[in-house]
Amino acid sequence: MSTTSVQSNTIRLHRVIRAVPERVYRAFLDADAIAKWFPPNGFTCRVHHMDVKVGGTYTMSFTNFTSGKSDSFSGEYLELVPNERIRYADRFDDPNLPGKMDTTITLKQVSVGTELNIVQEGVPAIIPEEACYLGWQDSLALLIKLVEAEILE
């Protein structure tokens, strides 16, 4: 594949998490939670706008903590099935990262917690597939720390 290809990547992830689906679902839709777990290691996240409903929109940015360079993206919620499924489409604001990415998150209650499946389609070809997997690995490790914690009041 040449570097000028317009082909895009599809990323598939699977995890089993020791938390109920309700908690995992909420972590994907709560602005403060997303700011905590969604950015990969070395990045911070700012949620500028989030209207969680089908047809609702969001705007976020990730900032590289070392360089200070920020990339923003926005999107729309396409499907929300409480505690089972989230589907959204987003785009980077940077014209060098063209196209729309569709992400589907599926949650299934299992004996030990939640089975999580993520499919992200349309990742811009300029982003190496392995970099996407590495970033998602970082993010999901933080998600697991957030939702598996049992803190008594």
| Phi and psi angles of residue 30, each rounded to the nearest 5 degrees, phi first | -100, 120
CATH number at residue 120: 3.30.530.20
Judged against a pLDDT cut of 90, whether residue 16 lies above it is answered with yes
pLDDT at 8: 65
pLDDT-above-70 percentage for the chain: 95
Average model confidence (pLDDT) across the chain: 92
Among 117, 81, 125, CA closest to 99: 125
Q: Is residue 86 a part of any domain in this protein?
A: yes
Q: Is residue 77 a part of any domain in this protein?
A: no
Length of the chain: 153
Alpha helices in the chain (DSSP H): 21-29, 31-37, 129-148
Q: Is residue 128 a part of any domain in this protein?
A: yes
pLDDT digits (tens, 9 = 90+) for 42-91: 999 999 999 999 999 999 999 999 999 999 999 999 999 999 999 999 99
User: Please, what's the b/e burial string for 25-42 (b: 16 or more CB within 10 A of its CB; e: otherwise)?
Assistant: bbbbbebebbeebbbbee
Q: Is residue 59 a part of any domain in this protein?
A: no
Q: Is residue 30 a part of any domain in this protein?
A: yes
pTM of the model: 0.89
- The total number of structural domains in the chain stands at 1
pLDDT at 2: 34
Q: Is residue 93 a part of any domain in this protein?
A: yes
> Is the model more confident about 97 or about 46?
46
Q: Is residue 29 a part of any domain in this protein?
A: yes
Cα separation, 33 vs 35, whole angstroms = 5
